[in-house]
Structure 1
Amino acid sequence: MKYANFEDVPVWKDGIKLTVKVFEATRDPSFRGQGDIANQIQRAALSVPNNIAEGFERGTTPELLQFLYYAKGSAGEVRSICHVIERISTFDHLKSQISDLRLLAKSISRQLGGWAFSLQESDIKGTRHLTAQSKASYQQKGKAEAFMEDLKRQQEERLEQLKRERGLE
């Protein structure tokens, strides 16, 4: 699916959700006096949607990929900090909330990995590189692939029909 704006991308929306939940969790008084852990997890969470947005706005596939991996790294950082917090007794009353954050960050990592993989398999270099000729070529390639899929489906249907007619099923 193509998105015109990063705000429409589901993983960006999940990144926003993660950031809000992290900021809400770190309001708990238990985070006071625990060094910089609240600030660190907040910055890591905030960098997830921000890196997605920045990469999206850059307009090239290589740059988008680079920023998706930055976002994926930040989601991993959130998960790692959650693992630490879960092991500190001061935060025992937040275990469920922290576990939810960790699981959401893991889901985001999977989504980003899937998106990055699909971009790596794409021959499109990004919107800044699309000329009228390359757009037409890309559309023609898509039409040719759709035609071949339809032809294959028709052949399989015809083969099944012949088998039924000849009693070979």
Structure 2
Amino acid sequence: MAHYNSFENLEVFKKARIPSLNVWELIQTTALKKDFELRNQINASSGSIMDNIAKGFGRGGGNKEFVNFLGYARSSYRETKSQVLKCLDRNYTSEDSFQKINNQAQELTDQLGEFSNYLKNSEKRRSKFD
């Protein structure tokens, strides 16, 4: 794996931006923007996916600690998925839009799992994934 000095260069982080952007578009273009509680929850959880990757990268606790934060990112994805389902149930989004967000986020959670497994099995310990 390449040497990374910044979380922004990680492919998994780049992919983590997509659910947050999709959720923001949903908020801005639907009646969800008036459902303040759900809007705030889904905005926070979708942003938390990428935030946890950044936090885990920046901590000095080694691969194990980073893997924990990647797990938190996956949990935030699941929370976001639940909230997007609420949006679907409340007719803020269509089934097609839900599937688009869900499929992109599922790709991300798969990638998070693969990256976690790489870190767990890596002999290199926190050398920025050389």
Work out whether the TM-score is over 0.5: yes
Matches of 1:29 and 1:18, distance apart in 2: 16
What are the equivalent positions in structure 2 for 1:67-86 lying under 5 Å apart?
67-86=69-88
TM-score w.r.t. length of structure 2: 0.85
Paired residue for 2:53? 52
Does the 8 A contact of 2:32 with 2:87 survive in 1?
no
1 or 2 for the larger relative contact order (CA 8 Å, sep ≥6)?
2
Matched residues in 2 for 1:37 and 1:82: separation? 9
- 2:122 corresponds to 1:122: yes
Write the distance in 2 (CA, Å) between the matches of 1:29 and 1:86: 11
| Contact 2:20-2:46 within 8 A present in 1 as well | yes
Question: 3-state SS of the aligned residue for 2:122?
Answer: coil
Gaps of 5+ in 1: 129-134, 136-169
How far off its partner does 1:67 sit?
0.8
- The one-character-per-residue Cα deviations of 1:20-57 (angstroms, maximum 9, x if unpaired) are 12111111341145351111111011011111011111
Deviation at 1:126, TM superposition (A): 1.3
The equivalent residue for 1:131 is none
RMSD of Structure 2 on Structure 1 (CA):
2.1
Of all paired residues, the percent bearing the same amino acid is 26
What CA deviation, in whole Å up to 9, does each residue of 1:88-110 have, x standing for no partner?
3x325x33222211111111111
Question: Cα 1:8–1:30, aligned 2, differ >3 Å: closer, same or farther?
Answer: same
Q: Residue 26 of structure 1 aligns to a residue in which SS?
A: helix
User: What corresponds to 1:18 in structure 2?
Assistant: 19
Measure the CA separation in 1 of the matches of 2:99 and 2:27: 14
Instruction: Report if aligned partners of 1:82, 1:99 keep a CA contact under 8 Å in 2.
Output: no
Checking the alignment, whether the CA contact within 8 Å between 2:16 and 2:49 is kept in structure 1 is yes
Tell me the TM-score normalised to structure 1 length: 0.67
Given that 2:30 and 2:92 are in contact with CA atoms closer than 8 Å, whether structure 1 keeps it comes out as: no
In structure 2, do the counterparts of structure 1 residues 32 and 9 end up closer, same or farther at CA, with 3 Å as the change threshold? Answer: closer
Question: Could you tell me how far 1:85 is from its partner in structure 2?
Answer: 2.1
Kindly tell me the number of residue pairs found equivalent between the two proteins. Answer: 127
Instruction: Note the alpha carbon deviations across 1:112-143, whole angstroms, 9 max, x for none.
Output: 01111111112333139xxxxxx9xxxxxxxx
Counterpart Cα distance in 1 of 2:33 and 2:81? 20
Q: Structure 2 CA distance, aligned partners of 1:21 and 1:115?
A: 23
Residue matched to 2:109 = 109
**Does structure 2 retain, via aligned residues, the 8 Å contact 1:45–1:75?**
yes
